[in-house]
Amino acid sequence: MNGADAAAPLAAARDWLAQDPDPQTRAELEALIASADAGDAAASADLADRFGARLAFGTAGLRGALGAGSNRMNRVLVAQAAAGLAAYLRERADDGAAPSVVIGYDGRRNSDVFARDSAEIFAGAGLRAILLPRLLPTPVLAFAVRHLGADAGVMVTASHNPPEDNGYKVYLGGADRGAQIVSPSDAEIAAHIERVATTERVPLLPRSTGYETAPESVVDAYARATAAVAPAPAGADALRWVYTAMHGVGWETLSRIVERAGYPAPHNVEAQLHPDASFPTVSFPNPEEPGAMDLALEEARRVRADLVLANDPDADRLAVAVPVDAEGGYRVLSGNEVGLLLGWRAARAARDAGATAGASLACSLVSSPGLGEIARHYGLDFHETLTGFKWISRAPGILFGFEEALGYLVNPETVRDKDGISAAIAVLGLAAAARAEGSSLAGMLEELASRFGHFRSGQVSVRVTDLRIIADVMARLRAQPPSEFGGVGILRADDLLRPTDGTVPGDVLRYTLDDGSRVIVRPSGTEPKLKIYLDVRADSAEDAAGRLARLEEAARALVS
């Protein structure tokens, strides 16, 4: 790095230091500046990374590693984001009343600090700011936006990201009904944040401690509504199940709902039950990651559980495992399998209630097409959306929605977002009913396949350290489209950057094969990964497994 290249990050770092209210990140930055001034090339490169870009605000809000700098999550960046969001909400208000915003936070490092900073800045900007009473799951925040009639909500969480990360998710009330932001709101908020960052000084932003603390009745209302999703059927007290909170915030809320709904208490994974921002027993706090559920499966074998339920750290996702043999073997169900079970549940309930007209099931375009088959069988509409619950939750007439990454929306009139707690209650209801009939969740999956076909899904994910690798692969596929996958010809190729069906554009390539299989390639929206999604349907489990194996081999070759 030459002198000119090094000078800009150093100047930006010194300017940042003058605004930073956090002793830890100030000390971190002071040490880097001193090392860079002394000619340390590694420190200069670190500063260039921290200040060479700004953590982008988009439809997922903010998410990134904690640390000093414009390209990290910290109190300066959060203060600017809060001030920008406040300006957006004031601009959007059309009745002269002060906009209201509710703020929640999970158990990650600095989540509570970022939440209180936001509440003070919202209140200082003249908004009615309402802070949830303690660390709570993301679905409680999404619920509170609607329950309190707030204009917006902020959840400080990085969900299932690595321990060093944190994030800032934004929801909108009113016509958005408590859903996450989408375009053009994201760009409008980002423009306000950018204006604050370039024209305002964080120490001079108005602040007030006059924010409210939400009453416990908000959490009680969420618990009542969620317990009503699936009250325990007769015989549910015989259900044996295991639960892990993955070192997150799910247990305290889930436990009161389980009791209220009438289910027996689970056998808990005690080492993972309570919030711990270091996530000491898992290398990656995501139930989808290999090894993350090992302790839960070990406990399940010990107690011979009927099922295992796992929330991710902010409890907006749910993983499910079931026994597969009498020797203590368990299998973690895919998000698609759980989604189809819950979709089937919703469709049957709509039929029984005579409420199918105008009602719909919805899933992301990378999730199992089996949900469409279920919807059609029961006379429901079906919507396939871009990835993310910001889109799924907006499907017209939605009764149920899911995405394959363990996200499920089972109670749309209460929470317009994925909710791992209400999904857990719904799965407990299915498991208890199946057990009473001498069956199980695995048995329900077999029945579903016999009715709608054997759908199998797979995914090949490539994690990178350089995002240019992902861009290069996507560019190569567009420039030199494949003619076949796994020996099967391509019937149709869709580039969703230029959709022809009126859908919102996305960086997604979709291939429909001659045998009805499907391959979808896209960059991850939250992690440095290229993801390839594979879906097959066959008349038998063996045929489906064979087709999927051939596609997985072809997908790995695609990015080798």
Task: Kindly write down the DSSP assignment for every residue of 339-382, as one continuous string.
Answer: HHHHHHHHHHHHHHHT--TT-EEEEETTS-THHHHHHHHTT-EE
Asked whether the beta carbons of 448 and 373 are under 8 A apart, the reply is: no
Residues 273, 274, 280, 286, CA torsion sign: positive
Query: Which superfamily does CATH assign the domain made up of 59-214 to?
Result: Alpha-D-Glucose-1,6-Bisphosphate, subunit A, domain 3 (3.40.120.10)
Is the pLDDT at 229 greater than 70? The verdict is: yes
Q: What is the mean pLDDT of residues 136-144?
A: 98
Tokens of 378: 């029961």
Nearest Cα to 99, choosing from 109, 86, 110?
86
The CATH number of the structural domain formed by 235-433 is: 3.40.120.10
Q: Please measure the distance between the N-terminal and C-terminal CA atoms of the chain and give it in whole angstroms.
A: 32
Is the pLDDT at 461 greater than 90? The verdict is: no
Is the pLDDT at 409 greater than 80? The verdict is: yes
Give me the amino acid identity at 236. Answer: A
Give me the amino acid identity at 46. Answer: D
Residue of 44, 159, 367, 422 marked catalytic: 159
DSSP H or E run through 143? helix 138-147
Give the global pTM: 0.93
Predicted confidence at residue 560, as pLDDT, reads 67
Categorize the per-residue pLDDT at 454 as very low, low, confident or very high, splitting at 50, 70 and 90: very high
Do 59-214 and 235-433 fold alike per CATH?
yes
Q: Show the CA angle centred on residue 170, arms to residues 168 and 176, nearest 5°.
A: 165
Domain definitions of the chain by residue range: 1-52, 59-214, 235-433, 454-558
Which of 51-55, 57-61, 103-107, 140-144 has the lowest average pLDDT? 57-61
Q: Which residue has the higher pLDDT, 473 or 135?
A: 135
Predicted confidence at residue 504, as pLDDT, reads 63
d(CA 364, CA 402): 7
Asked whether the beta carbons of 151 and 89 are under 8 A apart, the reply is: yes
Q: What is the mean pLDDT of residues 473-495?
A: 91
Categorize the per-residue pLDDT at 506 as very low, low, confident or very high, splitting at 50, 70 and 90: confident
Q: What is the mean pLDDT of residues 131-147?
A: 98
Active site residue 159: yes
Asked whether the beta carbons of 315 and 421 are under 8 A apart, the reply is: yes
pLDDT digits (tens, 9 = 90+) for 348-395: 999 999 999 999 999 999 999 999 999 999 999 999 998 899 999 999
d(CA 380, CA 350): 9
Q: What is the DSSP string of 189-202?
A: HHHHHHHHHHH--G
Give CA separation, 270 vs 137, 279, 299, 410, 443, in Å: 19, 13, 10, 28, 29
Largest separation between any pair of C-alpha atoms in the chain:
75
Predicted confidence at residue 5, as pLDDT, reads 63
Asked whether the beta carbons of 177 and 144 are under 8 A apart, the reply is: no
* Secondary structure of residue 474 in the 3-state scheme: helix
Residues 6+ away with beta carbon under 8 Å from 423: 318, 338, 342, 408, 410
CATH label, 454-558, candidates 2.60.40.10, 3.40.1160.10, 3.30.450.40, 3.30.310.50: 3.30.310.50
φ/ψ of 482, rounded to 5, equals -70, 155
Mean per-residue pLDDT of the chain: 94
